[in-house]
Amino acid sequence: MMLSGEAFDKVARVVGLGYPGGPKVDKLAKEGTIPIELPTTNIDNLDFSFSGIKTAVINLNHKDSNINKADLCLGFEKAATEMLVNNTLKAVNQTGIKKIVLAGGVSANSYIRGSFEKLAKEENLDIFFPELKLCTDNAAMIASAGYYNFIAGKRSDLSLNAVPNLKLGE
């Protein structure tokens, strides 16, 4: 399951926080007191989308220029994290796997970390996330993968293109 930093970047842009969005949304959300309710999807399988939440943030912000931005960011974090936690729990129940790893830039978000720590305690799970200094937009992980590919003799020319939905092992 993945929550893309793109979702945080878009919310940050909409509420006027700039880029990179993740740390700025996290910081402003801490000033929120009443999270604004945003829609979440509940699909029977483990698929989900954050487009509805992003659209709701955009629409609410455009309808009311005086909306409390901190409460809106808190509502976004709450809704997105609820979807992540619920789907993770579904996956745990379906597979019996008890070890959860959070990685990438979004794993630095304090609300997400706290919610997963709470889930781990409630469900007797092992939760792992990198140190905050390693949660910077996957750069360390990309560099590591590049290093090991280079050592293995794998090379690409300048025609190489990004494949955002590439699965592990492909």
The model's pTM is: 0.78
Task: For 70-92, give one letter per residue: b (16+ CB within 10 A) or e.
Answer: bbbbbbbbbbbbebbbbbbebeb
Tokens 């781990």 locate to: 120
Which amino acid is it at 14? V
Q: pLDDT tens digits, the chain, 170 residues: what are they?
A: 556 788 888 999 999 998 888 889 999 999 999 999 998 877 677 777 788 889 999 999 999 989 999 999 999 999 999 999 998 999 999 999 999 998 878 888 999 999 999 999 999 999 998 888 777 666 666 777 888 889 999 988 888 887 777 776 66
Architecture of domain 5-151: 2-Layer Sandwich (3.30)
The residue extents of the domains of the chain are 5-151
Query: ω before 35 within 30° of 0 (cis)?
Result: no
How many C-beta atoms lie closer than 10 Å to residue 57's C-beta?
24
How many C-beta atoms lie closer than 10 Å to residue 111's C-beta?
19
Helix (H, G, I), strand (E, B) or coil at 97: coil
Tell me if 104 sits within 8 A of 5, measured CB to CB: yes
